[in-house]
Structure 1
Amino acid sequence: MDAPEPAETPFAAVSAQTSRWGRIYQAYLDQSTPYVPYRWTGTGVLFLIFALRIFLAQGWYIVAYSVGIYLLNLFLAFLTPKFDPSLEQDEGMEDGTAGTGLPTKEGDEFRPFVRRLPEFKFWYSTTKALAIGFACTWFRAFDLPVFWPVLVVYWVLLFVLTMRRQIQHMIKYRYVPFTVGKARYQRK
């Protein structure tokens, strides 16, 4: 006679169910990839709900500030090229070779702009941050007493200084992280 098979442990059953849900979730994420305007519209609605929750509850300013700082960090990574031309230029000067980054002179070869943080990861991280921030607004433990105008002024100051530095970097190394559309050529 064959020995009876051992019963499946509860941990294995939970692990199998979790991986199943993870695959389903990943499939939905993969299907949403081409629908950029719809994804960002949904994230915008989530942002409005989050802001409305903060405004109506008159609290959780630390949560809102933390989400704002995180979103600013994501936005900077989205605007920054994957290969920083200033670092490549410094390395090229040290070893005598030319940098392989973005063109810095008029005659340099054009290379497409590659972001440090791709659009999909930017959207996904933004949406997760807003969802986690919204969830935190339902727990009193995260409602720390602060004088919110100071946080707003500090965040605006941080935003302005950081963006000024980023724009100067863009001008110096001649790159534009946004494209309005695909170039179209007319027939003659």
Structure 2
Amino acid sequence: MDLSLYTQIVLDYLAPLPYIRWSIFAIILFLYILRIYFTNAYYLVTYCLGIYLIHGIILFLTPKGDNISDPFENYEQEEDDYVPDLIDNQFRPITRNLPEYDFWWFCLKVILCAFFASFFGIMDIPVYTPILVIYFILMVGFTLKSLYKHMKKYKYNPFFMSKDFYKD
């Protein structure tokens, strides 16, 4: 049996089972963290893994739409272009840039690539770890701040999919 066919069979089986899919991801991520902890190496690979996971989270949380711009464009220029009347105010559920299944598959591929890279000594590039950690925390903070501004501006909340009800 071909490997790609076997992979597709397993993915098709796991498609309607989100709890099992994310449990598999959590187990593999835990094994990766244990590997990094016990080898005390591959910090740059882990940093790159974090960057890719943040990128996937951003794609998962931002809505797909013609009238909604990228959350990381220049806001000063964008303020003049934004006209609230152009956006339809009817309730529509968020159509994400990256659906949940594709987000899971993206995260799983990234963690498996990082796990695979951690078996090669050439990938253990010496870095000063505190600078990587500080830079990663600052980058995540600024990214979340920009994403929060984007959510407030376009009035969407990716965590709640239900319609708001108002009393008369």
Of 132, 139, 142, the match for 2:120: 139
Q: Structure 2: state its 5+ residue gaps.
A: 71-77, 164-168
TM-score (norm 2): 0.82
Q: Tell me the matched-pair count.
A: 153
Q: Does residue 128 of structure 1 match 2:129?
A: no
Q: After superposition, where does 1:1-188 map in structure 2 within 5 Å?
A: 20-83=2-65, 85-87=67-69, 99=86, 103=88, 108-179=89-160
Runs ≥4 residues deviating over 4 A: none
SS in 2 for 1:168: helix
Report percent identity of matched pairs: 33
SS at match of 1:87: coil
User: Based on CA coordinates, which of the two structures has the bigger radius of gyration?
Assistant: 1
Gaps of 5+ in 1: 1-16, 184-188
Question: What does the per-residue CA deviation read over 1:59-88, in whole Å, with 9 as the maximum and x for residues that have no partner?
Answer: 111100001001100100000111164439
Secondary structure at 1:27's aligned position in 2?
Answer: helix
Question: 1:48: Cα distance to partner?
Answer: 1.1
Change (3 A) 1:161 1:177: same
Report the CA distance between 1:38 and its aligned residue: 1.1
Q: How large is the RMSD of aligned CA atoms in angstroms?
A: 2.4
